[in-house]
Structure 1
Amino acid sequence: MENKLMIALHGGLACLNRYLARLLLFASGSLVLVMTGVVAAGVFWRYVLNDSLAWTEEVARYLMIWLACVGSVVALHRRDLVAIDILPDALTGSAGRALRVLIATICLLISGFLVYYGFLLALNAWGQLAASFKMPMFFVTIAVPFAGLGFALISVEHILGELTRSHETVTAEGEGEE
């Protein structure tokens, strides 16, 4: 019963994470397009019209922060982040699974740190305004706990995946011995 619940939780979380990853991939592309447009507008106004827009550099910087946070969640979901896989790939069986669970648990702890302290940072930044267009900096800094939440969801999925995979392997091995 317990194993079926873990398998169901893993399946549901994997489905949710796939949907969120697709949505965030679309958001990343949109952020790149908007950032490109903002930078192009800044260049056009500065060099063609000889009248620079004060807000373009600041907006591009804030879009880049959001792009890095959103894009890193997509990269973690796709397992495209830079990693040293020599040891996890070299270990087989339960030792390899245990190491992958440990790595995902460390990622989950770091995610909790990002969510908690990132949210405190965002709340603290509510009273601060962007220099050129007076937007609360909360909307920029909230990207950090947003990314942390995405990392946490993916880390829990990885942990559940390794735990259910190890149980399935043990069950399959046990069935063959009978």
Structure 2
Amino acid sequence: MNIKSDKPSSFDRMLDQLARLAIMVADLCLVVLVFSFGWLVFGRYVLNQTPTWVEQMALLLVTAITFLAAAVGIHERTHLSVDLLSQFLNERGRLVLSLLVDLLLGLFGAALVWYGWDLIQFAWRKQIPLLNIPDGVRYIPMVVSGGLIVLFEVGRLKQGLSVLLCRRSGGARADKGRMAEEC
């Protein structure tokens, strides 16, 4: 959010839209997962012919759901956290600690992208049994989630640094010789 107003910036709105899109894709994956297991039960007990591809597809879908929801959880701050240390810090210390956590989460997201991309390249030549698609597809949600985490944490760092710099300057920012404006 902008410090000067409570209106979210266009970047913040874009991040919110990305989070909504990720949840919609995860929701769609969940619906496909439920229907595929319905087909599994129907095939096994009604047609007496079990569709063997459902298990492999279910693994792909659960992976996609998990990684996408984890990235959105970071954006919405719904993951568990231990805040024992922050209780002993003043407001500025809590803000600095929050920035450090955001930086570490951003680095974790970058590691997901980097190593996930390596996994995609390594596994792309192999096939997933019964689905006949490249095995590297398994790792695409990891890379997408890592990219989302990096973007979400860039937004948090931008916001946190704005607050920190605003408070450091005593609530006013000088803008290249212009009159100081409220943060």
Equivalence for 1:27: 25
In structure 2, C-alpha distance between the alignment counterparts of 1:30 and 1:90, rounded to whole Å: 43
Range moving further from structure 2, 88-97 or 40-49: 88-97
Q: Is the 8 A contact 1:125 1:138 kept in 2?
A: yes
Unaligned segments of structure 2, at least 5 residues: 173-179
RMSD over equivalenced CA pairs, Å: 2.1
Change beyond 3 A, Cα 1:167–1:16: same
Q: Out of 40, 57, 66, which is 1:68 matched to?
A: 66
Aligned residues: 168
Equivalence for 2:107: 109
Residue type of the partner of 1:141?
Y
TM-score (norm. length: structure 1): 0.86
Q: Is the 8 A contact 1:42 1:57 kept in 2?
A: no
Unaligned segments of structure 1, at least 5 residues: none
TM-score (norm. length: structure 2): 0.84
1:14 corresponds to 2:39:
no
Cα deviation for residue 90 of structure 1 reads 4.7
In structure 2, C-alpha distance between the alignment counterparts of 1:92 and 1:37, rounded to whole Å: 51
Cα deviation for residue 76 of structure 1 reads 1.1
Alignment of 1:88-99 (within 5 A): 88-99=86-97
Q: Out of 29, 38, 41, which is 1:40 matched to?
A: 38
Equivalence for 1:167: 165
Q: Is the 8 A contact 1:104 1:159 kept in 2?
A: yes
How high is the sequence identity, in percent, across the aligned residues? 23
1:149 corresponds to 2:144:
no
Deviations, residues 30-79 of structure 1 (Å, cap 9, x unaligned):
11101100111111111222210010111011100011111111111111
Q: Is the 8 A contact 1:127 1:136 kept in 2?
A: yes
Equivalence for 2:128: 130
* Greater share of residues in strand: 2
Q: What SS does the corresponding residue of 1:166 show, helix, strand or coil?
A: helix
